[in-house]
Amino acid sequence: MGLDKILSVSGRPGLYKVQAQTRTGFLAESLIDGKRISVGMQHNVSILSEIAIFTLNEELPLREVFKKIKDKENGNQTSIGHKDGKDKLEEYFFDVLPDYDEDRVYASDIKKIVQWYNLLQKNDLLDLDDEHSDEEE
């Protein structure tokens, strides 16, 4: 399973894994607590495979950013938490992605990326993402 089955639901914490499609949307399972929710058309949903981060030259897919974090952390959880201060988050992200666009990537975006990476790592979904991306290329 790649990032195309993992999503963020507006107004709900964490990430969700798509379980099944329904007539009005789909069922998703929380990566935080394993609870299932019904996600309908009225929800604002972002699929992780469709998210990209602005750099000075291009838009870098979130999958590539996760790979860079994984390389930096040797496959472990991040050395900082998503609740750390703005300066610490920006400094960390600059180490991961030195050419990110500081005017268009906010501290709140970096918080989400760090939190999402840690959730995916904790649920052992990062290794599957690597295999999935190799198949696409």
CA distance 7 to 47: 4
Distance set, CA 54 to CA 70, 100, 131, 136 (Å): 19, 6, 24, 22
In order along its 137 residues, the chain shows pLDDT tens digits of 588 899 999 999 999 999 999 999 999 999 999 999 999 988 999 999 999 999 999 999 999 999 999 999 998 999 999 999 999 999 999 999 999 999 999 999 999 999 999 999 999 988 644 444 444 43
Residues 81 and 132 in one domain: yes
CATH number for position 21? 2.30.30
Question: Nearest Cα to 14, choosing from 40, 32, 33?
Answer: 32
pTM of the model: 0.87
Residues 35 and 80 in one domain: no
DSSP state of 4: G
Residues 86 and 36 in one domain: no
Range of the domain at 29: 3-48
Helix, strand, coil shares of the chain as percentages rounded to 5? 40, 25, 35
CATH number for position 117? 1.10.10.1650
Residues 41 and 58 in one domain: no
